């Protein structure tokens, strides 16, 4: 079948399944409305955002979104709690903006994996942004404070036994300090600097449109980055300095220096940012090209990122008892609108990722990801999304070889799975500007690859809830 025919067939199947639900929503008066920035289901415009985080909200702080004046009804609000009787916009006008959001993910293993079962995980995040221009006259300066809490159980860890986490919001199930930083713009935004305690992935290596999916392999960074080096993503924080330079209106350069300190990932150090010791630094550089972003551009919008990073900390040599001094990785990320329907947000976008990591000290040597995201699905559902994605992680052959030499010398490494693949189909139902429901199904191929085990392919069915307070 032609790829276009497959896509049409998928849309038709989901439409049939969702017609009763959508009809019920119409009866209840839940209308389609404009999206709040932090709940936008896709970055179809692929703007050069100063921050990309792994759990919603995708984009960076947007205090103005929290200061919308006096919504008439709950489904017209950008947030669940509204403007707090006018207090929220008054605080924002004086430089104090509050943000909070909630995400939950519940999945059941229908077949395969380790065993059948159900797991639920959740994340609650609360932040405050202090506009120092309004508070103290420091032009273009902002302090950020974020506390994150995760609870629940992992469907991948407990029931499937695979490497590519089915639930994006699982991992580090405790309350922690996730950001304490100061951000400063120079030259009317030509240069942006962030220093303090935060996740380096907030600024580098992310595809925010990937969070139209639930699996952490899509949302929002390739796992080869954190799996093959000391790279860390939200909600994990370290000390660092990040710089974003606008070389041209459609060309950005990002770089920085970030601490390597594994002790800060421990629960006992959740609010001890000075615990442990620095064992090295990560030195990244990323170039992003954003066609179709400037006013008057006729090109369809997109984002293309090419990056390199070097981790100076010592690490175990793959398949050997010795160590190596330093690890590195290369990556290419992209998101591109390929079809626009009219002048609104409806359209089709493609996303992709490819990473390379040397065999000498990597778990994942190659990473491939591709996905299609349609924004605007049925009549009157201009902000709903449907996504179909595939990601494949290649296990370092040296690890397979070392395991086979000890545990399976007769059959050798060729008898072991070469890697793991995840295929996901997801529908984002934008009920209000502050609420998204995302029914989701995932198929995991070779879930035992990274534990060197033969395991039946797994099917996981569930969903995600995203809510902005």
The pLDDT of residue 73 is above 80: no
| Residue 20 resides in a domain | no
Q: Which two structure tokens, joined as six digits, stand for 327?
A: 């690890």
| Residue 278 resides in a domain | yes
- The structure's pTM equals 0.85
pLDDT in tens, 230-242: 999 999 999 999 9
Dihedral sign for Cα 357, 359, 363, 365, please: positive
| Residue 14 resides in a domain | no
| Residue 132 resides in a domain | yes
| Residue 376 resides in a domain | yes
Q: Cα(117)–Cα(111) distance, rounded to whole angstroms?
A: 9
| Residue 126 resides in a domain | yes
pLDDT at 308: 98
| Residue 2 resides in a domain | no
Q: Cα(73)–Cα(77) distance, rounded to whole angstroms?
A: 7
CB 11 within 8 A of CB 408: no
| Residue 155 resides in a domain | yes
Number of structural domains in the chain: 1
pLDDT band at 120 (very low <50, low <70, confident <90, very high): very high
Which domain covers residue 238, as residue numbers? 31-468
Q: Which of 41-45, 389-393, 439-443 has the lowest mean pLDDT?
A: 41-45
CB 147 within 8 A of CB 177: yes
pLDDT in tens, 173-206: 999 999 999 999 999 999 999 999 999 999 999 9
Rounded to the nearest integer, the mean pLDDT of the chain is 86
Q: Cα(176)–Cα(172) distance, rounded to whole angstroms?
A: 9
Q: Cα(115)–Cα(248) distance, rounded to whole angstroms?
A: 53
CATH number at 129 reads: 2.40.160.180
């Amino acid at each position: 079948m032609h790829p276009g025919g497959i896509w049409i067939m998928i849309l038709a199947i989901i439409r049939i399944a969702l017609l009763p639900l959508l009809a019920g929503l119409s009866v209840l008066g839940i209308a389609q409305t404009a999206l709040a920035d932090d709940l936008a289901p896709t970055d179809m415009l692929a703007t050069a955002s100063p921050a990309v985080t792994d759990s919603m909200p995708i984009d960076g702080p947007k205090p103005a979104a929290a200061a919308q004046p006096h919504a008439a009804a709950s489904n017209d609000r950008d947030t669940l709690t509204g403007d707090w009787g006018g207090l929220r916009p008054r605080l924002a006008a004086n430089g104090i903006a509050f943000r909070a959001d909630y995400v939950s993910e519940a999945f059941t293993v229908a077949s395969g994996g380790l065993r059948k079962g159900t797991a639920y995980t959740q994340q609650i995040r609360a932040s405050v942004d202090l506009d120092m221009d309004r508070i103290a006259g420091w032009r273009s300066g902002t302090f950020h404070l974020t506390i994150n809490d995760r609870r629940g159980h992992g469907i991948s860890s407990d029931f499937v036994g695979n490497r590519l986490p089915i639930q994006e919001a699982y991992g580090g199930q405790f309350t922690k300090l996730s950001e304490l930083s100061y951000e400063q713009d120079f030259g009317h935004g030509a240069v942006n600097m962030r220093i303090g305690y935060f996740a380096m992935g907030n600024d580098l290596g992310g595809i925010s449109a990937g969070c139209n999916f639930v699996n952490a392999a899509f949302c929002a960074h390739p796992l080869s980055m954190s799996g093959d080096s000391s790279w860390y993503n939200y909600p994990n924080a370290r000390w660092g300095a990040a710089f974003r330079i606008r070389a041209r209106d459609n060309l950005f350069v990002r770089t920085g220096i970030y601490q390597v300190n594994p002790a800060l990932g421990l629960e006992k150090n959740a609010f001890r940012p000075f615990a442990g010791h620095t064992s090295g630094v990560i030195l990244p550089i990323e170039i992003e090209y954003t066609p179709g972003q400037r006013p008057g551009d006729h090109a369809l919008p997109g984002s293309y990122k090419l990056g390199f990073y070097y981790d100076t900390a010592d690490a175990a040599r793959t398949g050997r008892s010795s160590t190596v001094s330093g690890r590195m990785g290369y990556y290419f990320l992209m998101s591109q609108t390929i079809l626009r329907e009219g002048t609104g947000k409806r359209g089709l976008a493609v996303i992709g990722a490819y990473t390379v990591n040397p065999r000498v000290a990597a778990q994942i040597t190659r990473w491939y990801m591709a996905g299609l995201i349609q924004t605007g699905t049925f009549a009157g559902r201009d902000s709903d999304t449907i996504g179909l994605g595939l990601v494949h992680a290649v296990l370092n052959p040296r690890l397979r070889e070392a395991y086979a030499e000890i545990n399976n010398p007769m059959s050798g490494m060729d008898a072991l799975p070469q890697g793991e693949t995840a295929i996901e189909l997801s529908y984002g139902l934008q009920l209000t500007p502050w609420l998204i429901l995302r029914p989701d199904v995932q198929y995991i191929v070779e879930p035992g690859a990274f534990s060197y085990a033969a395991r039946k392919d797994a099917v996981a069915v569930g969903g995600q809830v995203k809510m902005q307070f």
